[in-house]
Amino acid sequence: MTLSTFRIGGELSVQRVGFGAMQLPTEPRPAREAAIAVARRAVELGVTLIDTAHLYGWGANEELLAEALHPYPDDLLIATKVGVAPPNPLHDAAICGRPDFLRDQVEQGLRRLRVERLELLQLHRIDPTVPLADQLGALRELQVAGKIGHIGLSEVTVAELEEARQIVDIASVQNRYNILDREHEAVLDACAPAGIAFLPWRPIHPAVSKATAEIAAVAAELGATAAQVSLAWLLHRSPVMLPIPGTGTIGHLEENVGAANLRLSDDQCRRLDRIHPR
């Protein structure tokens, strides 16, 4: 049976099906009220891992979560990300790993989320123009200062992960991965033996509802949806897998969280494993 919880960094215990907050609208009411209701319903359903980022609305998503959920339940982990500069009249949005920039975004995240410590802070992208040791060194300094609990990475290769682990302890990796897109299989396989949490973004491929007959067949056997089967397959794929499906509706949220209760047979797992990724 698939374990239902995982300890990020060896100490932050979370339910393995989390929630990605990126799709929550941050516009004025009534859209905002609906988004707040979705976030609160996620917690009611037992979700203990919520993923956000400075990039999502340039801080507006973090503020929305604080409005919806603060003061936070003791078991709730809100993970955020830094490292992308917002656009301005002269420049488009861009990856930025300058230490001063990262420090400023962390301070903004602390303020917007109304916390004194970001328990899981992920570098949204590695900046190829700044030495990795400088980028992670800045986050390590904030970690020593008590403003960051654990450090993670996003969209990295196996080589980048190995380099990063020579500089700081890496608690999580957030790469794109799902049953129809397994480009980062090697990164997942590198995380597993090290006990590094793997948070697949886009855990449900947009085309999965029209996907292979095999997914549809397994869904029919289980009385589930194709999306639920996709999430259940992720949970069975690796013990370090923590899917963070995102949605802006309570119906889809409840469907996604319900995937944690599906139990795939060995035969169903083998059939799904053989699906050729796109």
Catalytic center residues: 56
Grouping H, G, I as helix, E, B as strand and the rest as coil, residue 14 is strand
- Which DSSP symbol is given to 88? B
How many whole angstroms separate alpha carbon 68 and alpha carbon 75? 16
Nearest to 72 by CA among 29, 107, 118: 118
The strand pairing partners of 19, in sequence order, are 50
Q: Is the sign of the CA dihedral 238, 225, 243, 261 positive or negative?
A: negative
The strand pairing partners of 81, in sequence order, are 122
Grouping H, G, I as helix, E, B as strand and the rest as coil, residue 253 is helix
| Cα end-to-end span (Å), the chain | 28
> Does residue 80 contact residue 65 with C-beta atoms inside 8 Å?
no
**Alpha helices (H) along 114-246:** 132-144, 158-165, 185-194, 213-222, 226-237
The count of other CB atoms within 10 Å of the CB of residue 238 is 15
With tokens 């903004």, the residue in question is 108
Grouping H, G, I as helix, E, B as strand and the rest as coil, residue 142 is helix
Cis, peptide link before residue 71, omega less than 30° from 0: yes
